Amino acid sequence: MSRSVALQPQPSAEAFAPFGRFITRPAAYGQRAFYSDQMPVEGLAPVLHTNFNRPSALPATVAKLERHPHAAQAFIPLDVERYIVTVCPSLADGSPDLEKVLSFAVPGTQGVIYARGVWHAGASVLDRDGSFAVLMWRGRPDDDEFQDIPPLTLAGKDA
């Protein structure tokens, strides 16, 4: 049986901090916003790829989570209306804490950086096809962990 998780509006930067950071444009012309402090890892090389996703309809189902224990992972929307960010912390044994799953609808004007080791669902766009640039440091064979989970149904008020 599927457990329902409410798709929430995007959290504040402070509320999302245990899971990573949002990528936003600077507030003023001529400024730069830097996000590289979470990214580089000694011995790993940067890998940049793009993806193309069909839209998910709400309610959506999540049946698998992933994490990358050695490197953060950044998703930068190239052509996205809105997308779903689903995260959860780890239990003491390292498995995902499914009682604390959070899911958010994020506007396509913001990116996200998942911190090292954060359990998250794969990229899922809403409303229309979408594309992201994905930046991650790679080089360790054990940096992709996937966990099948009992299905979670993501639903929101704006569905």
36-57, pLDDT tens digit by residue?
A: 776 667 778 888 999 999 999 9
Mean pLDDT calculated for residue range 140-153:
89
Model confidence at 65: pLDDT above 80: yes
pLDDT for residue 134 is more than 70: yes
For residue 12, the model assigns a pLDDT of 85
Q: How far is CA 155 from CA 5, 94, 133, 159, in A?
A: 7, 27, 26, 7
What is the rounded distance in angstroms from the CA atom of residue 121 to the CA atom of residue 39? 19
Residue 156 clears pLDDT 80, i.e. is over it: no
CB of 63 closer than 8 Å to CB of 106? no
Q: Cis ω on the peptide bond leading into residue 59 (within 30° of 0)?
A: yes
Looking at 2.40.50.140, 2.60.120.480, 3.40.190.100, 1.10.287.610, the CATH number of the domain 3-24+42-145 comes to 2.60.120.480
For the chain, domain boundaries: 3-24+42-145
